[in-house]
Each structure stands twice: as structure tokens, then as C-alpha cells.
Homo-oligomer: A and B are copies of this chain.
Amino acid sequence: MRRDIFQAIADPTRRAIIALIAMQAMTPNAIAAHFDTTRQAVSKHLRILSECELIDQQQNGREIYYQLKIDKIKEIDQWLEPFRKLWEDRFENLDRYLANIQKNKN
């Protein structure tokens, strides 16, 4: 099983789950209620997210609350980092370009 974070966020349902539990921990049933799918399907997604260490779980009686591990999301941000440099550079170039036009007009 490959199971990395990029594969985890590839599925739209999983992204929705991530967004859902970002603010507060939720049980599988509560999560499933937000989607047009069964609890078992959600459970499977939660398992994948767990394997990627994107979520935490906390048992409370027979209920299990799942919660986002926000730090893990940072890994995507880190992957993005070098690319961000690229588009910031391009923005600066545009900036300079515009400044130049400004200077030379009239």
C-alpha cells in the first residue's frame, strides 16, 4: 500500500471529511450523515486518513471521535514551497515590469 498524504487528499470525499473534522472531532456516523454514503464507506476513508496520520482518534464509550491532525497538512505546504517561490518570482517580475511602464509613460 502506497498511502501517502497526496493520495489521501486525492479523493474529494476525503477532502470533505478533512474539512469537516478540522474544527471539531466527529464520529463516523456523524460524518456519514453529511454525505450520500454509508458509514462503512466513511469508515474506510477514515482508515486511510489514519494510515497517513492525517487524523487522530479518541474513544469515548462506544463512540470514536476522529479529529484532524493539522500538522500533517503542513507537509503539503512544504511540498508547495519551491513552487511558491516560482510564482512569487513571477509576480515580482510583473511588478517590476509595471513599475517600469509607470516610469516611462508620458
Contacts and interface: CB of A to CB of B under 8 A. Distances in A.
Contact of A76 (B2, B7, B76, B86): B76
A73 B84 CA distance: 8
Contact of A70 (B6, B9, B70, B83): B83
Number of copies of chain A assembled together: 2
A101 B77 CA distance: 30
Contacts of A79: 15
A25 interface: no
Interface size class of A (residues with CB under 8 A): 20 to 34
Closest 10 CB pairs of A and B: A10-B10, A73-B83, A7-B10, A70-B87, A70-B86, A6-B10, A6-B9, A77-B80, A76-B80, A22-B86
9 contacts: A4-B12, A6-B9, A6-B10, A6-B15, A15-B79, A70-B86, A71-B87, A76-B80, A77-B80
